Amino acid sequence: MTAATTYLTDEMLARFDERAPLYDRENRFFTEDFEELKASGYLNIALPESFGGPGMRLGEVSRLQRRLAYVAPATAVAVNMHIYWVGVAADLHRAGDSSCDWILEEAADGKIFAAGHGEAGNDVPLFLSTTSATRAEGGWHLTGHKIFGSLSPVWDYLGLHAMDSSNPDALQIVHAFLPRDADRYRIEETWDTLGMRATQSHDTILDGTFVADRHVPVVSPAGFAGAGLFHLGIFAWGVVGFAAVYLGAAKRAFDITTARAHERSSIALTRSMAHHPGVQHYVAEMRIALETAEALLDRTVDDWSAGVDHGGDWPVKIVATKNEVTRRAFEVVDRALDLTGGSGIFKRSRIEMLFRDIRLGRVHPANELLTHEVVGKLSLGIDPDDPQRWG
């Protein structure tokens, strides 16, 4: 029995496929999908064997996530938040760093981790923060407003970051995990969006919330200079994980489009629209985009899984992969809508839902502006932490 059939059976996928449009239409959390995935062990596919999991690396997880996203993109992008924390902790453990072993222990016990890095007005996530961190006895007080908190209805720990500005000459980023039973925070149900609606990624308001030191695995200098394996792992598992989701969804859009091309007709043609030269040209463009995106994604996740030493090029490879894959994915679904015709704009159309879901890939970090800045500066040997950002 393969990992695919153990943790993500065809029967499960069929049920997820049927429920996805309902979650989208009703703008509600994917409760039934979540419970099935948790029961099957899917949420802990990245958990090391020594902690009771199958120990899948990023490459294996990426391919499974594409299968899930093919039928339920919002479900896949939401569970990616939990999986990436487990994956980061697993990679640190394998590297001899036990600072996040407690995450693996809690995940093995069924606890759910989510991500709270989103902030309005912060286009450099993870390395800067609009949320403040104030040192207290035994921990930190956090105050700020987090957005895009996927898994809001079910998380047990919200992984987030905040800025300690007590020394203006040595700003620090505090990476903490907020327990669900903490005081002085609230979740505001704000999620009514264009796409990925089932993620229910609500806002979290922190009002001097206390997080104990045992839930603060990393305190690092602000900016890119403070980046270590913890930070790079978040980008690899999180950002490249997003790319896998959008590629899986784009494959679904392609398959729907090519199947329907044989069913669509025109009074001016003797055969189906599949024989129209323009349709064939556009389908070829879509296929080329998918082949290109998949090749790049596979290379990146397999290199990460194998521990290939790309040194300082890893940040470039990670954000470039996410940018290119999500851009190609949107090209595919955009062309799918063209080829579907007027029927594709109705809410009953799966293409309409996929179009909205996949468009969010270009919003997900790192967006195109930040990607081009990071890739350009690092390629030119320019310090991304230079106080004079441009000019």
CATH for 291: 1.20.140.10
372 DSSP 8-state letter: H
**Are 306 and 357 part of one and the same domain?**
yes
**Are 235 and 376 part of one and the same domain?**
yes
**Are 125 and 190 part of one and the same domain?**
yes
Phi, psi of 369 (to 5 degrees): -65, -50
pLDDT at 4: 67
pLDDT at 3: 65
* 350-359 vs 10-26: helix crossing angle, rounded to 10: 80
CATH for 13: 1.10.540.10
> How distant, in Å, are the alpha carbons of 324, 367, 371, 384 from that of 379?
17, 18, 12, 11
pLDDT at 5: 76
In a domain, 161, yes or no: yes
> How distant, in Å, are the alpha carbons of 155, 238, 332 from that of 112?
5, 15, 33
Contacts of 303 (CB under 8 A, 6+ apart): 310, 317
With residue 146 as reference, give the H or E element that holds it.
strand 139-149
Two tokens, residue 123: 């286009």
Q: What is the pLDDT of residues 138-189, one digit of tens each?
A: 999 999 999 999 999 999 999 999 999 999 999 999 999 999 999 999 999 9
**Are 95 and 133 part of one and the same domain?**
no
Query: Residues 123-139: what's their mean pLDDT?
Result: 97
Name the domain boundary from 196, 224, 252.
224
Phi, psi of 128 (to 5 degrees): -135, 165
In a domain, 389, yes or no: no
Q: What is the pLDDT of residues 332-372, one digit of tens each?
A: 999 999 999 999 999 999 999 999 999 999 999 999 999 99
Structural domains in the chain (count): 3
Q: What is the pLDDT of residues 92-111, one digit of tens each?
A: 999 999 999 999 999 999 99
Q: Could you tell me whether strands 113-116 and 157-164 are parallel, antiparallel, or unpaired per DSSP bridges?
A: parallel
**Are 188 and 309 part of one and the same domain?**
no
In a domain, 189, yes or no: yes
pLDDT at 114: 98
**Are 179 and 75 part of one and the same domain?**
no
In a domain, 388, yes or no: no
**Are 237 and 372 part of one and the same domain?**
yes
* 73-94 vs 101-108: helix crossing angle, rounded to 10: 130
Name the domain boundary from 176, 205, 224.
224
> How distant, in Å, are the alpha carbons of 150, 226, 338, 391 from that of 81?
7, 22, 32, 36
**Are 183 and 295 part of one and the same domain?**
no
Name the domain boundary from 62, 93, 111.
111
In a domain, 19, yes or no: yes
Query: Residues 306-328: what's their mean pLDDT?
Result: 98
Give yes or no for a contact between 254 and 290, defined as CB atoms under 8 angstroms apart: yes
Share of the chain above pLDDT 70, in %: 99
In a domain, 385, yes or no: no
Contacts of 389 (CB under 8 A, 6+ apart): none
**Are 202 and 240 part of one and the same domain?**
no
CATH for 130: 2.40.110.10
**Are 374 and 276 part of one and the same domain?**
yes
Residue listed under structure tokens 């609009």: 130
d(CA 304, CA 296): 12
**Are 21 and 153 part of one and the same domain?**
no
Two tokens, residue 65: 């996530």
Residue listed under structure tokens 């579907």: 340
In a domain, 98, yes or no: yes
**Are 299 and 367 part of one and the same domain?**
yes
In a domain, 183, yes or no: yes
Query: How high is the mean pLDDT of the chain?
Result: 97
Q: What is the pLDDT of residues 253-312, one digit of tens each?
A: 999 999 999 999 999 999 999 999 999 999 999 999 999 999 999 999 999 999 999 999
pLDDT at 391: 82
| Full domain range(s) for residue 33 | 3-111
